[in-house]
Amino acid sequence: MKLSYCTTCMGRAHHLKQTLPRNLADNVDWSRPDAVEFIVLDYSSPDDLLEWITTDPQLAPYRDAGILRIAQAPGQDKFRHSHAKNMAHALATGDYVCNLDADNYLGAGFTSYLRSIFLRRPNAIVATNRFDARLNAGLYKGSMGRIALSRTNFHLLGGYDESARFKGWSGEDTDLIMRAFRAFLRPVWIRNRDYLRVVMHDDMERVRNTDFVDADAELARIAALDGSNMRPLLRYVLNRAVAPRVANRGAPIGSGAVRFPS
């Protein structure tokens, strides 16, 4: 079994510099290096992401072993969550894929944890609990994007929904989970919060590079769905529960040019 961690980055290299080295150290078993890969998609990141990830000596052993793979998506002017994530997941070669946001720490042993679940429940979807308010503050706020499932099931669900309803900060991750439930994938909630720590930062950084009209409205949407008020969260979940089960039907997902730096 091979696991693929898929990370997208646009203007968040400063976070990835903190999380990626630790995630690699905590989750790569050098006795079986082919069992895991970390894919980083440079979604036209305006910072020094590419230079750092291709030259940093600490990352060199992982690059050389093919465990750490970097790809570029040139020409992107705004961060489109669903499109970027679909592009990164399309590069995965693992049997199972896991979205890993740039500001997330996996925690020591997370790969073994996922492997143990998928060995017993190959059609599980592993995710954070949307109704656990403790995960919407402090060291855990920003961990809701952690979703793992088989690569086959990811594609059967149509990946992340790239339609206009998911413009800006929009809950495309919760939508994927809801569609997986409707497809009868078995939910498994990540209960060990040691696996869900993040680099702490303000909400403005979450939306800075996204496509939005009103920043205040975007920030208000984040606040409304932060788990402190059940009504908007329940309303959102109910609305997604009646959405089409398969996203992007009839359209390619994650389309666009991708290149691999030498």
Q: Using pLDDT thresholds of 50, 70 and 90, give the confidence band for residue 216.
A: confident
Give the model's pLDDT for residue 89. Answer: 98
Q: How far is CA 193 from the centre of its chain?
A: 17
Q: Using pLDDT thresholds of 50, 70 and 90, give the confidence band for residue 95.
A: very high
Q: Is residue 112 in some structural domain? A: yes
Q: Is residue 252 in some structural domain? A: no
Give the model's pLDDT for residue 237. Answer: 65
Q: Is residue 227 in some structural domain? A: yes
- Whether residue 243 is predicted with pLDDT greater than 90 in this model: the reply is no
Q: Using pLDDT thresholds of 50, 70 and 90, give the confidence band for residue 208.
A: confident
Q: Is residue 254 in some structural domain? A: no
CB neighbour class for 122 (10 Å; exposed up to 12, middle 13-18, buried from 19): middle
Q: What is the helix, strand, coil percentage profile of the chain, to 5?
A: 40, 15, 45
Amino acid type, 184: F
The residue written with tokens 């656990």 in the block is 132
Q: Is residue 74 in some structural domain? A: yes
Amino acid type, 114: L
Q: How do residues 251-261 score in pLDDT, each as one tens digit?
A: 889 999 999 99
The residue written with tokens 């429940």 in the block is 121
CATH code: domain of residue 149: 3.90.550.10
Q: Using pLDDT thresholds of 50, 70 and 90, give the confidence band for residue 168.
A: confident
Q: Of 153 and 242, which is predicted with more confidence?
A: 153
Q: How far apart are CA 82 and CA 253, in angstroms?
A: 9
Amino acid type, 221: R
Mean pLDDT, to the nearest integer, of 14-23? Answer: 98
Query: What is 149-186 written as a DSSP string?
Result: EEHHHHHHTTSS--SGGG-SS--HHHHHHHHHHHTTPE
The residue written with tokens 């996922």 in the block is 114
Tokens of 142: 């920003």
Q: How do residues 23-71 score in pLDDT, each as one tens digit?
A: 999 999 999 999 999 999 999 999 999 999 999 999 999 999 999 999 9
Give the model's pLDDT for residue 153. Answer: 98
Q: How far apart are CA 262 and CA 260, in angstroms?
A: 6
Global pTM reads: 0.92
Q: Is residue 21 in some structural domain? A: yes
Q: How far apart are CA 119 and CA 115, in angstroms?
A: 6
- Whether residue 230 is predicted with pLDDT greater than 70 in this model: the reply is no
For residues 23 and 102, the answer to whether their CB atoms sit within 8 Å is no
Query: How many domains does the chain contain in total?
Result: 1
Q: Is residue 211 in some structural domain? A: yes
Domain of residue 103 covers 3-241
Give the model's pLDDT for residue 229. Answer: 59
Query: What is 13-65 written as a DSSP string?
Result: HHHHHHHHHHHHHHH--TTSGGGEEEEEEE-S-SSSHHHHHHH-TTTHHHHHT
Q: How do residues 111-159 score in pLDDT, each as one tens digit?
A: 999 999 999 999 999 999 988 877 877 889 889 999 999 999 999 999 9
- Whether residue 199 is predicted with pLDDT greater than 60 in this model: the reply is yes
Q: Is residue 258 in some structural domain? A: no
Q: What percent of the chain has pLDDT over 70?
A: 91
Average pLDDT taken over every residue of the chain: 90
Query: Of the ranges 169-173, 233-237, 249-253, which one carries the lowest mean pLDDT score?
Result: 233-237
